[in-house]
Amino acid sequence: MLKSMTAYARQQQQATWGSLIWELRSVNHRYLEITIRLPEELRELEPQLRELIGKRLKRGKVECNLRFKANEELSDTLQINEAAAKALLHACHQLEGQMMNAARLNPLEILNWPGIIKPQETDLRAVKNATLDLLSVSLDDLVATREREGERINTMLQSRHHLISELSQRIATQRPAIQEKMRNKLRSRLNELNLEPDNGRLEQELVYLAQKQDIDEELDRLNAHLKEVDEVLQRQEPVGRRLDFLMQELNREANTLGAKASDVDTSGASVELKVLIEQMREQIQNVE
């Protein structure tokens, strides 16, 4: 199954500890290049995240952005370090016994003492687990999008593949008529010059011209490459690089056909071949 390298996915999760949002973008690239942007408190997850992405994607430039927002209601709740507060009050009572007319303790002053109020901490274990799970869901969405785009590309490639096969067959079918036309043209030139040809010499020249303009080998290689393309399109693995190589080989044969062409029809068919191959190549640049 073909997969495109261009896709976008966004997944969000809300929980008691806050919210997470994963945004994934991927575009075509020669290899797999992963860029991950994380909040500082979740930075240690990066190796696990890269491993998870690498298992699902094989090629493409992938940008992964994670946004984490802690629950503001939890952050507004004050937690008192009771042990520290009791120790401080005990020390204050001891001092009051040694002081004359000691002022009554102000609770606000106690709260301002360092260590009395504990900072509210989010349970990062739950957040980390949710981060990994949500990335898996986001990757499912991204891969599904790449597969849908891959189906569209596959349809286009199959259509061009069919047209190239038809052109190849048409060129092969026209070869005998073109060779006979070349033979008649040479005889007509000799008649115009009122020359009596040496039949043996004439046949040698015709054989030489036929060999010089022979494109059977190129057509055979072209059809072999087309067969390989058809086989590769059926594979269930990443095939973008293989298809790109086959497009280079197809284009090479089309160029040789054009160079050897001795008639307008074959020359025009060569141009059509190169146009179709280029259309395929442009789409294959985006195949994983």
* Domain range 7-73+123-147, its CATH number among 1.10.20, 3.30.230, 3.40.50, 3.90.1720: 3.30.230
| CA–CA dist 222, 247 (Å, integer) | 10
Identify the residue with better confidence: 112 or 48: 48
Which residue, chain included where needed, has tokens 């693995």?
237
pLDDT above 90 covers a percentage of the chain that reads: 53
- The secondary structure of 230-270 as a DSSP string is HHHTT-SS--HHHHHHHHHHHHHHHHHHHHH--SHHHHHHH
Is residue 288 within 8 A of residue 282, CB to CB? The reply is no
Q: What angle do CA 26, 32, 38 make, to 5 degrees?
A: 65
The model's pLDDT over 88-106, given as tens digits with 9 standing for 90+, comes to 777 877 777 777 666 677 7
**Mean pLDDT for the stretch of residues 196-206:** 61
Predicted TM-score of the model (pTM):
0.71
Task: List pLDDT tens digits, range 100-142.
Answer: 666 677 777 777 777 776 655 557 889 999 999 999 999 999 9
Domain boundaries in the chain? 7-73+123-147, 78-118, 148-284
Task: Tell me the C-alpha distance between 74 and 244, whole Å.
Answer: 55
